[in-house]
Structure 1
Amino acid sequence: MNRCLSLLILTQLVFSIAASSTTEAAETQPLTIKEINQTWQQRRERLQAMRVELSLEIATSKLLFYPEEEEPINPPSTYSPLTKADMESLKKELVINHARYSILLDSPRIHYRHWGRFPSDRLKETISFDNNCFSNGLTVTRLQQSQGTPWIHIFKKTETSDVFSALSQLPLRWALLAGDRDLGETLEGFTVRSETEPILDLDCTVLERTDTEGTARLWVAPKSHDCTVLKYEYHNADKLLVSSQIQYKIDKDWGQVPTTCDLKSFYGNEDLLRNSYKYFFDILHAKASIPAEEFQVKFPQGARVWDSRKRDADGKVITYTVNKITIPR
């Protein structure tokens, strides 16, 4: 009797150890793309309708403020061309600037505002800017206001990059809207590598996508951390061109929410920084009640409008000046 009982306990112990080993092995196995997409969809539904306030620190290689590739046809008296030594020196110096974002996200609708001050060419002066972008998933409207007359560009949305192209917001697309076909980034073209890699003591699934320009890599956290993207890199010929790291905190209602995003780009032929963007998530409120009018753009009086959706008899884009403040239909 005692012998039978001992055998039964030993058998249960063996099965328990085997099951535990199987579970541990499963946790260190790479996730499938289907599993990641399912987790991302659940997370987006949990975060749907967001108000986000961001502050941004930008470090830019000083050389990027000297865009002339050749001497102007009619150079001003103060113009002096850059020497090779000047270019090498400027490439290694950084200019620090700051900006702000205010973002409303309710996919496929978005309204973001980006404002601050930024140096002009050759660092002659610092210019204020205030840019807004509105999208309903079909049409994108950009309102840009700096020195001089405001201008508005309206066009049909054809690609995800139409909305974000001018704002270097790749970290936001992976951090908040991964898998969203309207505003985020998808795993189309990515494949899963056979081994996981650790980041912050988490066994991350590594995904790759190669195109004619280079190779993109993603590090995705386990399901217990919402399959959040912790790291992104883009390489060309074994040279790191873009690197992004995202940090999160746990929220009792919304799960993993981002706290900071670091995005860096490098000169391809050497390990020198071209520019970097450090985003701080000052406010993130999910499941927000956002009135529809907050996604509507108001055309300021005197703004110059280019409406790419409409053409004249010669096929040219229709342009006009706004006579009074209006809300377009």
Structure 2
Amino acid sequence: MDRCLPFLILTQLVFSISASSTTDAAETRPLTIKEINQIWQQRRERLQAMKVELSLEMATSKLLLYPEEETPVNQPSAHAPLTKAEMEHLKKELVINHARYSILLDSPRIRYRYWGRFPSDRLKKTVSFDINCFSDGQTVTRLHQSQGTPSIHIFKIPETSDVIFSLSQLPLRWALLAGDRNLGETLKGFTVRNKTEPILNLDCTVLERTDSEGTASLWIAPKSHDCTVLKYEYHNTDKLLVSSQIQYKIDKQWGQVPTTCELKCFYGNENLLRNSYKFTFDAFHVNESITAEEFLVKFLQGARVWDSRKRDADGKVIPYTVKQIIIPC
């Protein structure tokens, strides 16, 4: 406030301070879900049709690479069983790997490629993986290429709780197109806390949703920052299971666009990291002209296909092998 204003307009200054206090109070009050959804819709319309390139750094607890030890199965194994001490030691050690994403988003159409290398067989070797996935809002086609014969899975969206598979990490959904039903995450079931909480000097609205397994919490930036999601947590009672933070930069034309997204998952009974994902947005292009052909998935010759839309009399999916390259309509 300008302290050099003449004394003659002091009354105007007092009035201005009073009005400013009222405005500040309005800015720091929690937003309603209706207000957030309105801002999100405007942002989605502004950012519609995206081409995104991501690099990913994954940290994985070594114990998770011994799945038969974490979840025993009744089958013969050539591996010597781990001792309790070995399991505790492996739980505390991490393996670092890297992968990449290439994503096309033109809701409800989604296509991405996810590829890299990951350790297997008790850390004895690493294998390459290459996954392509396409969703038109009604069905999902997933092509998995790694060692051996390529496999293709086709299913209706209601048949899976995870429509976009490897893009299922919640923070990415919130960062790219928050509130978009085709990405599977809206504010349905969330309620607003009575008070805001500060993050990065921003008074954030906090929303919560409780289900049978725990409570999810979202920290939403003010309208001046596109109501972007800055933080996400999931608790089971008093135990933190999932924590994530998203960072953005301001673009003169597109507003708040994400730069990094970090997700950490913890062992429920102790404060130890199960795995973590750090996504870096290497390229972010919006309002792109994306042709329908770019969303088509080519069936590779020799690929093994499971199409859950077609079943036999007993309701079982009948797999088949692609004899020639075809493009589904």
TM-score, normalised to structure 1, is 0.94
Partner in structure 1 of residue 192 of structure 2: 192
Partner in structure 1 of residue 77 of structure 2: 75
> Following superposition of structure 1 onto structure 2, how do residues 159-238 of structure 1 map, counting pairs within 5 Å?
161-238=161-238
Give the CA deviation at 1:171: 1.4
Distance 1:306 1:176 in 2: 30
Q: Is the 8 A contact 1:71 1:81 kept in 2?
A: no
Partner in structure 1 of residue 323 of structure 2: 323
CA shift digits 1:92-118 (9 cap, x unpaired): 000000000000000000000000001
> Following superposition of structure 1 onto structure 2, how do residues 1-329 of structure 1 map, counting pairs within 5 Å?
9-69=9-69, 70=72, 73-76=75-78, 79-158=79-158, 161-329=161-329
SS at match of 1:313: coil
Partner in structure 2 of residue 3 of structure 1: none
Query: Which letter does structure 1 place at the counterpart of 2:307?
Result: D
Change (3 A) 1:7 1:93: closer
Q: Is the 8 A contact 2:202 2:221 kept in 1?
A: yes
Give the CA deviation at 1:87: 0.3
SS at match of 1:172: helix
Change (3 A) 1:177 1:159: farther
Distance 2:57 2:241 in 1: 20
Taking only aligned residues, the RMSD between alpha carbons, in angstroms, comes to 1.7
Distance 1:19 1:121 in 2: 66
Distance 2:181 2:314 in 1: 34
Distance 2:252 2:218 in 1: 26
Deviates more, 1:307-316 or 1:186-195: 307-316
- Where does the alignment leave 5 or more consecutive residues of structure 2 unmatched? 1-5
Distance 2:221 2:169 in 1: 20
Give the CA deviation at 1:18: 1.5
CA shift digits 1:53-82 (9 cap, x unpaired): 000000000000011144764333xx2110
Change (3 A) 1:127 1:16: same
Deviates more, 1:179-188 or 1:238-247: 179-188
Change (3 A) 1:182 1:167: closer
Q: Is the 8 A contact 1:67 1:121 kept in 2?
A: no
Give the CA deviation at 1:17: 1.8
Q: Is the 8 A contact 2:47 2:286 kept in 1?
A: yes
SS at match of 2:318: strand
Q: Is the 8 A contact 2:162 2:168 kept in 1?
A: no
Give the CA deviation at 1:168: 4.0
Query: Which letter does structure 1 place at the counterpart of 2:194?
Result: S
- Count how many residue pairs are aligned between Structure 1 and Structure 2: 322
Give the CA deviation at 1:220: 0.4
SS at match of 2:281: strand
TM-score, normalised to structure 2, is 0.94
Distance 2:320 2:165 in 1: 25
Give the CA deviation at 1:9: 4.0
Distance 1:160 1:14 in 2: 60
Query: Which letter does structure 1 place at the counterpart of 2:171?
Result: P
- Where does the alignment leave 5 or more consecutive residues of structure 1 unmatched? 1-5
CA shift digits 1:221-266 (9 cap, x unpaired): 0000000000000001111100010000001111000000000000
Give the CA deviation at 1:167: 4.0
SS at match of 2:328: coil
SS at match of 1:324: coil
Distance 1:115 1:91 in 2: 26
Query: Which letter does structure 2 place at the counterpart of 1:12?
Result: Q
Percent identity of paired positions between Structure 1 and Structure 2: 81
